[in-house]
């Protein structure tokens, strides 16, 4: 009997855990689908598009010092309007017609997790 | 009298060619099924993908608008000798495309190509885009927009550009210029979930036309 209860409890715990990861996969899935082609699956700025002919290295999101110079609004704006809107390379695309604001906000928090850093206020 | 016979004969000939083409297309559909092509490609529109997960679950590109997208001479040849189009394996960012696509014998390729060319989309307006080395299109593709970051293209004597998108080397003989424009203008009809950003609304329609015309010159 105790065994059975244990098994059921374990089952419930696993259920909850996997629900948690489904939620987290939202941000991760967006990042891997849209951003990793240039920024790399781990956000290190080394995606498969970065070959010799790629003129400007994509931002390394694990570079804490660089990322702390940006506010969350800076990050959001550059995602929506692309590199040139922030005097950066045109190789950083504008995503405003592709992603919803909500998706962009999700990506901003995901990037903050990658850099393990605080936003510039 | 002679001319009436000629007209009749003409009509008869036209009618038989039309039915013959249809017969080849039907043949092609059977071959497509027999060779299990539909295990990786769907051929009935409209687009089915409802999420990123649906897109990632696909094993090959959708072909329901193949007749609007491709040029038939290219298609016939490619089915017999499929060269790599996407530098990376389909839906992968870490593995290369090994170039081991199924290949067809010449007569099967003709029939399958006839079938695929019969699959068209009403979203593609014919005769709008003529290939042109448009300075504006060139500027947008190479400098103003990130196109070259994700697509290989012919750059004088070498090939430049990124790897995540299909290579545009040879796009001039592979793609229908009108489809390129339709895809840039109204991409979600063909690909509701794609890792390429949407540029319609950011670039003017005339700019989209200029880029499409420019891509259509790629050898």
Q: Does the A26-115 domain belong in CATH 1.10.760.10?
A: yes
CA distances in angstroms from B98 to A27, B62, B85, B101, listed in the order given = 30, 20, 11, 8
B10 touches chain A (CB under 8 A): no
Q: Tell whether the model's pLDDT for residue B165 goes beyond 90.
A: yes
Q: By CA distance, what is A91's nearest residue in B?
A: B146
- Which residues of B are less than 8 Å from A36 in CB distance? 93
Quick one: pLDDT at residue A22? Answer: 39
Distance CA B34, CA B21 (A): 20
B103 pLDDT tier (thresholds 50, 70, 90): very high
Name every residue whose Cβ is closer than 8 Å to that of residue B32 and which is 6 or more positions away in sequence: B38, B43, B112, B115, B116
User: How confident is the model over B96-100, as a mean pLDDT?
Assistant: 97
Q: Tell whether the model's pLDDT for residue B11 goes beyond 70.
A: no
Show me where the domains of chain A are located: 26-115
CA distances in angstroms from B207 to B124, B145, B184, listed in the order given = 17, 11, 10
Q: Counting every residue, how long is chain B? A: 219
Per-residue pLDDT tens over the stretch A52-94: 889 999 999 999 999 999 999 999 999 999 999 999 999 999 9
User: How confident is the model over A15-28, as a mean pLDDT?
Assistant: 53
User: Is residue B72 left, alpha or beta, with left meaning phi > 0 and alpha meaning psi from -120 to 50?
Assistant: alpha
A24 pLDDT tier (thresholds 50, 70, 90): very low
Q: Do B149 and A54 touch (CB under 8 A)?
A: yes
**Nearest residue to B63 (alpha-carbon basis) of B196, B94, B78, B127:** B78
Across all residues in chain B, what is the average pLDDT?
93
**Dihedral (Cα; B139, B143, B146, B148), 10-degree rounding:** 80
Q: Counting every residue, how long is chain A? A: 121
Ranking A11-20, A23-32, B147-156, B164-173 by mean pLDDT, the lowest is A11-20
Per-residue pLDDT tens over the stretch B190-219: 999 999 999 999 999 999 999 999 999 999
Per-residue pLDDT tens over the stretch B174-183: 999 999 999 9
Cross-strand partners of B155: B158
- Which residues of A are less than 8 Å from B55 in CB distance? 33
B97 touches chain A (CB under 8 A): no
Ranking A6-20, A86-100, B26-40 by mean pLDDT, the lowest is A6-20
Q: Tell whether the model's pLDDT for residue B143 goes beyond 80.
A: yes
Quick one: pLDDT at residue A6? Answer: 55
- Which residues of A are less than 8 Å from B56 in CB distance? 33
Given a contact cutoff of 8 angstroms between Cβ atoms, the answer to whether A54 and A63 are in contact is no
Q: Do B162 and A49 touch (CB under 8 A)?
A: yes
Quick one: pLDDT at residue A108? Answer: 97
User: How confident is the model over A10-27, as a mean pLDDT?
Assistant: 48
Report pTM. Answer: 0.91
What are chain B's domains? 2-117 (1.10.760), 135-215 (1.10.760.10)
Backbone angles phi, psi at B27, to 5 degrees: -55, -50
A35 pLDDT tier (thresholds 50, 70, 90): very high
Q: By CA distance, what is B159's nearest residue in A?
A: A53
Q: Tell whether the model's pLDDT for residue B20 goes beyond 90.
A: no
């Amino acid at each position: 009997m105790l065994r059975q209860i244990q098994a059921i409890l374990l089952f419930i715990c696993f259920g909850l855990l996997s629900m948690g990861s489904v939620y987290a996969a939202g941000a991760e899935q967006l990042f891997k689908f849209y951003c990793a082609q240039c920024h790399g699956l781990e956000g290190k700025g080394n995606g498969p598009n970065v070959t010799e002919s790629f003129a400007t290295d994509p931002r390394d999101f694990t570079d804490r010092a660089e990322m702390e110079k940006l506010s969350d609004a800076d990050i959001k704006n550059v995602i929506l309007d692309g590199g040139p809107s922030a005097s950066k390379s045109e190789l950083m695309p504008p995503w405003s017609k592709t992603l919803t604001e909500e998706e962009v906000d999700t990506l901003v928090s995901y990037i903050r997790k990658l850099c393990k850093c605080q936003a510039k206020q | 009298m002679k001319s009436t016979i000629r007209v009749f004969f003409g009509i008869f000939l036209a009618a038989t060619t039309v039915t013959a083409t249809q017969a080849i297309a039907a043949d092609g559909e059977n071959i497509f099924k027999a060779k299990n092509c539909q295990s990786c490609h769907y051929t009935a529109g409209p687009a089915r993908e409802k999420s990123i997960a649906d897109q990632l679950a696909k094993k090959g590109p959708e072909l329901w608008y193949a007749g609007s997208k491709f040029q038939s001479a290219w298609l016939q040849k490619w089915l017999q000798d499929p060269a790599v189009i996407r530098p990376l394996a389909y839906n992968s960012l870490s593995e290369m495309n090994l170039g081991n696509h199924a290949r067809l014998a010449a007569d099967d390729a003709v029939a399958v190509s006839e079938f695929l060319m019969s699959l068209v989309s009403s979203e593609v307006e014919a005769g709008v885009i003529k290939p042109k080395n448009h300075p504006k299109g060139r500027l947008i593709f190479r400098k103003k927009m990130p196109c070259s970051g994700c697509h290989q293209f012919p750059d004088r004597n070498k090939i430049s550009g990124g790897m995540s998108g299909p290579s545009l080397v040879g796009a001039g003989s592979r793609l229908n210029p009108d489809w390129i424009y339709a895809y840039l203008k109204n991409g979600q009809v063909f690909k509701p979930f794609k890792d390429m950003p949407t540029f319609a609304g950011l670039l003017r329609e005339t700019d989209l036309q200029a880029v499409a015309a420019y891509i259509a010159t790629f050898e």
